Amino acid sequence: MPVGYVADQVYQKHDTNDHVEGKDRLTAIDEILVKTGLKEQLELIQPRPATIDEIATIHDRSYLQELKKEIDSGGGWLDPDTYVSSGSWEAALYAAGGVMNAVDSVLTGKHSSAFALVRPPGHHAVRMHQMGFCLFNNVAIAARYALRNYDIKRVMIIDFDVHHGNGTQEAFYTDGHVLYCSTHEYPWFPFTGLADETGEGEGKGCILNIPMEASTGDADFLRAYNEVIMPAGRRYHPDLVMVSAGYDAHWKDSMSNINLTTTGYARITQIIQSIAADCCGGKTVYTLEGGYHRPALAFSVAATFEIMLGHDEIFDPFGQPPTITTPVDFDSYIAMLRQIHNLDK
């Protein structure tokens, strides 16, 4: 079964000028996919615009009205981090809709897995406002869409962006139909995602946060995925695995202090694909979040596609960071996380 990807020129309409989250991010990815020959191995999934009713399953309608009003008036800075232009509304509709089309493609069996190369990103957007470069929470909207439109009961969202997906956590904190797992630098923007934030009510135990210290590298991240996220995912047994794929934890990216490598992202992807293979026939949908060092972003996305295609070998032009710090007593930290989530029972 082929691997799909969502891409379209509509995402370039979100023109952020010289903002770090610029449209050249997608251009850089496309160039590497062509150069490596990966693009010809993938099948294009055309996006569509999300409807207001679909977006309103996650966001308040009053926020949507105010956002559209700001964009229609010419855009500009909505907050110190988030910039919009006259084309941002259309791009954001197609970003959410693109991820939903990826979900359709995977859940109807057309593609084994899919990666939505969309922007603006989404995992910081909360119910009442935009945040951290994000307008609509694309992955949350698509997860709820999957649960409402297909005969599935459980979705697992894995977020490896260096920033905690506070908007996604908010959306499903009391839900129970979504297991949200995040590895992220802490303390770091948006200063949420502590290990003891585990959900409430029906969602109790369905939020799994693994805050990581600055300078942490591949080895410790892979332990977190192998020893905490993988067993939690297998126990939850999702019908679909979704991924907020942010590449700003790469050691070359100045937006963080984490030391993941391109190879590290490939190994994380292998773990994610293994969870999906064990639980839901390999059904995975990735959506692009952060990643601001253009070459590191592009080669890391390419590495993700390599693993999705079933290839073991990947090209890492950057290698290892100059220094890697292992947190003090990381064994005890992993043991604490496993205890919080009852993984030893």
Catalytic residue positions, numbered: 124
d(CA 41, CA 115): 13
List, as own/partner pairs, every contact residues 319-324 make where C-beta atoms lie below 8 angstroms and the sequence separation is at least 24, other chains included.
319/261, 320/217, 320/251, 320/261, 321/217, 321/251, 321/259, 321/261, 323/215, 323/259, 324/215, 324/216, 324/217, 324/218, 324/219, 324/259
**55 with 109: CB under 8 angstroms?**
no
Supply φ then ψ for residue 75, to 5 degrees.
80, -155
Helix (H, G, I), strand (E, B) or coil at 164: coil
DSSP label at residue 9: G
Taking alpha carbons only, the member of 41, 37, 121 closest to residue 292 is 121
HSE-up of residue 54 (Cα within 13 Å, Cβ side): 27
**217 with 262: CB under 8 angstroms?**
no
Angle in degrees, CA 226, 339, 189, rounded to 5:
70
